[in-house]
């Protein structure tokens, strides 16, 4: 097949493109005539021919070596953006955590002062005293003491030593 016959080959529709047609786009213009001569010969081979299989494997390898670096570069760029975003977020989180830890340490340092202010002993004593006084009044003990005082006027005039002797004599019987 000469160069004129090769250039006269009909344009192949995209859905009927073979591996070799796809490889043709990678061949430099000055080498395409030679390439098409080899490909024209492969079309005469049976589908199970070993030479055809070797050429197909080489073609796949050529496509992979041609397309893979570009795909790797795109993926690398994508991964770099993801990593930069993750690092940015990590830095932001680290700054927020440091600020939070600082605020927490500050609050912990202020805690004894807040506790001291909240535990005002004179105020607590006053509140407890008032609460105790109210409980004592509600218990009825002051009323019982007044009633006892009114019902036994002689206990006030009786000497204390005599009371102890009377009580001692009554327990010894």
Per-domain residue ranges of the chain: 120-152
| For residue 73, pLDDT beyond 90 | yes
Q: How confident is the model at residue 12 (pLDDT cuts 50, 70, 90)?
A: very low
Q: Tokens representing 75?
A: 């993926």
Contact indicator for 87, 47 with CB cutoff of 8 Å = no
CA distance 144 to 119: 36
What pLDDT, in 10s, does the model give residues 103-162? Answer: 998 888 887 777 767 777 788 888 888 998 888 888 888 888 888 777 776 655 555 566
Q: Tokens representing 51?
A: 């030479």
CA distances from 19 to 16, 25, 44, 168 (A): 10, 11, 16, 128
What pLDDT is attached to residue 76?
94
What pLDDT is attached to residue 77?
94
Which contacts (CB < 8 Å, 24+ apart) does range 134-137 have? none
What pLDDT, in 10s, does the model give residues 36-68? Answer: 888 888 888 888 889 888 888 888 888 788 888
Contact indicator for 37, 1 with CB cutoff of 8 Å = yes
pTM for the full predicted model: 0.35
CA distance 73 to 79: 10
């Amino acid at each position: 097949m000469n160069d004129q016959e090769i250039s006269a080959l009909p344009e192949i529709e995209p859905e009927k493109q073979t591996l070799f047609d796809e490889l043709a786009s990678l061949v430099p213009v000055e080498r395409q005539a030679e390439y098409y001569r080899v490909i024209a010969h492969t079309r005469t081979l049976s589908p199970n021919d070993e030479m055809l299989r070797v050429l197909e494997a080489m073609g796949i390898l050529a496509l992979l070596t041609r397309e893979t670096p570009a795909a790797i570069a795109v993926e690398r760029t994508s991964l770099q953006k993801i990593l930069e975003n993750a690092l940015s977020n990590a830095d932001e989180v680290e700054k927020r955590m440091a600020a939070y830890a600082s605020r927490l340490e500050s609050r912990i340092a202020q805690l004894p002062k807040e506790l001291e202010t909240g535990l005002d002993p004179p105020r607590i004593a006053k509140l407890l005293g008032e609460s105790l006084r109210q409980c004592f009044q509600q218990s009825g003990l002051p009323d019982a003491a007044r009633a006892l005082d009114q019902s036994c006027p002689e206990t006030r005039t009786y000497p204390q030593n005599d009371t102890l002797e009377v009580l001692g004599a009554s327990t010894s019987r």
